[in-house]
Amino acid sequence: MSHGTNGHRAPLRSPLAAPTILAAGLLLAVGAATALAQDRPEDRRRYVAPGTPVSDDPRRVPVAPGPTGPDGSIVLVGGRIFDGTGAAARPGTLVIERNRIRAVLAPGSKTWPAEARVIDVGGMTVLPGLIDLHTHLSYYMSGGFGPADEPQQLIADPIQGTLRGVERLRAYIASGITSVRDVGSHGDVAFRLKDWVRARRLPGPRVFAAGNLISARGGHAAGGLRPGSLLFGAVRVASGPEEWREAVREQYERGADFIKLTSHFTREEVAAAIAEAHALGLRVTVDAETFYTQWAVEAGADCIEHPLPRSEETIRLMATKGTCSVPTVVSYKYIFDTRGGYYGTMSRRFSFSHEANIEMVRKMKRAGVTIGVGTDLVGAWYRHLPAAYLTELKVLVAAGFTGPEALVAATGTNATIIDMADRLGTLEPGKLADVLVVRGKPDELLDDLTQVQWVIRDGEVVVDRGQIVGLQHLPLPEPGTAPARRSP
C-alpha cells in the first residue's frame, strides 16, 4: 500500500503473470518511489508557534510583530449579513478594527469604538469579498480574445505587462473581487503587483501568484514560444522529472504562493513536480484534459482547472482524494460565442460545448467534488466584469447549486482552495477585513451582486458608493524641517 499524508490508500495491482526476480525488483522500486511521494502539501504552520505573526499568504513566512492595517475602525450598520459560512443572511452590524473583523453584532447593538467611521448600509447586503481563482494579470489584450489595444512589439514587454495588470486589478476590485489567484503571468509581474497592493501603493485585490506556468515542449501554452510571441516569458518549458522539479523550485524562489502545471506531461514529470511543490508546502493546480487529468489526480494534484473532458473514473477519484475543480466555464462560453468553437490548438483535440461544460460541472457536483469559482478572462474580457463573474456563478446554479451555495463557493470555498480559509472567505471575528457591500439581496437574486456600493480590502475602503477611491498623497516634511501644523 502507498500512503499519502491524507491517509488515502492506493492498492498495487496484482501482476498478470508470475513475477520474475527482475519484475519483483521493479515493483519494489515503484512502490518505494510512490511511498516517498508527497501526496498532500506539507503544513508549514505546524512548525510555527501559536501567535507568531506570519505573512497573509499561503507561504506563511514569519514577519515582525506590530499593528497592521489602517488606523481606526469602520462600522457597517443597518444591512443584512451574508457571512459565507453557509448560514442564511440575517440583519446585523459588521465592526472592523484596523484590518480585521472585530465583531458581527445583532441589530440594535452599538458596542463599537466611539471614533469609528459609521456607514449606513440599509437596503444592502454585506458579504465577504469575492475571490477569482483563475486570472492572468499580464496577458496581452488581444490574441484573438477581444480588441487589440497594443502594438505587436509590446506583447511580451514586461513593463507593458505590468501596466496591463494594473488596469485589470482596477476592474476586479471595482467588481467586488478582493482576491485573485494569478495562474500564470510574464516574468515577475504578478509578484510585483502583489507587493504593491500589499503595501497600499496600488488599489486592487490581493494577489496570490504562481509565477510562470510549467509545461512541456509543445504542451498547452508552450507551443510556438519565441521572442515576441503571446506567452513568451510566461511559460517555463521543462523536460524530464528533474527539470520539472527544478521549474517548481524556480517559482518557489521567486515567491510563488502555489504552482501551476499544464499538460502535456509524463506520469513521472507531473508526479515529480507535485511532490516537490508539496514538500515545499505549496498547493498545485493543473490545466489538463482527458487521461492527463487522471495522471495529475493520481499524482496528488490539489486542483484541476477548466471543464475539459475526463472520465467518470477520474471524477470519482477527484472526489475520493479531495481534488477540487475550478471550471472557468464563462471563458469557454465567450470562445464559443465569438469564434464558434475552440480551434487550432494541439492541447484541445476533442469536442466540447457550453452545454457539455455545464454537464461536467453537474457530474462533479453529484460526485462530491469541491468546486470553486474562477473566470479565466484572457485578452480584454476583464472589461465584461462584473457580469462575467456573475455568468460563472449562474453556471454553478445551472449545474445544481442554489444561489447561496454559489456565493459560498465564491467566498468561503474559494478561500479554502487557496489555503487561506483561516484568514479570508467568511465574515467572522479575527478574519481579515475583505468585505463587499451590494445593493439588494444577492443570495435571493444573484444579479444584485453587480450592484457594488462599497468594497473594503484589508480594512481600507477602496470602493466608495461604486467608485474606486484614489490613493491619497500624504506629503512628508522636507529634510531638516519640522512637520507643518494644520489649522483646526
Same domain, 301 and 177: yes
Pairing mode, strands 284-287 and 303-305: parallel
Cα(6)–Cα(31) distance, rounded to whole angstroms? 18
Same domain, 156 and 17: no
| Within-domain flag for 76 | no
| Within-domain flag for 46 | no
| Within-domain flag for 165 | yes
| Within-domain flag for 70 | no
CATH number at residue 270: 3.20.20.140
The predicted model scores a pTM of 0.90
pLDDT of residue 470: 79
Arithmetic mean of pLDDT over the chain: 89
- Phi-psi category of 239—alpha, beta or left, where left has phi over 0 and alpha has psi -120 to 50? beta
Give, in order, the Cα–Cα distances in Å from 4 to each of 1, 32, 237, 340, 467: 10, 13, 28, 43, 48
| Within-domain flag for 291 | yes
Please give the order of strands across the beta sheet that includes 235-237: 235-237, 213-215, 259-262, 284-287, 303-305, 324-326
| Within-domain flag for 12 | yes
pLDDT of residue 248: 98
Write out pLDDT tens, residues 223-254.
Answer: 877 777 677 788 999 999 999 999 999 999 99
Same domain, 233 and 345: yes
Place of cell 490613493: 471
Phi then psi dihedrals of residue 343, to 5 deg: -120, 155
pLDDT of residue 141: 66
Per the structure, the count of domains in the chain is 2
- In this structure, what C-alpha cell is assigned to residue 303? 486542483
CB-based contacts of 368: which residues, under 8 Å, 6+ apart?
A: 319
As a residue count, the chain comes to 488
- In this structure, what C-alpha cell is assigned to residue 241? 522529472
Same domain, 27 and 149: no
pLDDT of residue 230: 74
Give, in order, the Cα–Cα distances in Å from 214 to each of 270, 328, 349, 415: 10, 19, 20, 24
Q: Can you give the residue range of the structural domain that contains 9?
A: 2-36
Among residues 369, 391, 424, the one where a domain terminates is 424
Write out pLDDT tens, residues 431-487.
Answer: 999 999 999 999 999 999 999 999 999 999 999 999 999 777 888 889 987 665 544
Cα(76)–Cα(68) distance, rounded to whole angstroms? 20
Q: Calculate the CA dihedral of residues 408, 414, 417, 422 and round it to 10 degrees.
A: -80
Q: How confident is the model at residue 158 (pLDDT cuts 50, 70, 90)?
A: confident
| Within-domain flag for 103 | no
Cα(138)–Cα(262) distance, rounded to whole angstroms? 18
Same domain, 269 and 415: yes
Same domain, 185 and 294: yes
The contacts found for 339-346 with CB under 8 angstroms, 24 or more apart, are 339/144, 345/220, 345/223, 346/218, 346/223
Q: Under DSSP, is residue 76 helix (H, G, I), strand (E, B) or coil?
A: strand
Same domain, 340 and 224: yes
Q: Under DSSP, is residue 381 helix (H, G, I), strand (E, B) or coil?
A: helix
| Within-domain flag for 53 | no
Write out pLDDT tens, residues 287-330.
Answer: 999 999 999 999 999 999 999 999 999 999 999 999 999 999 99
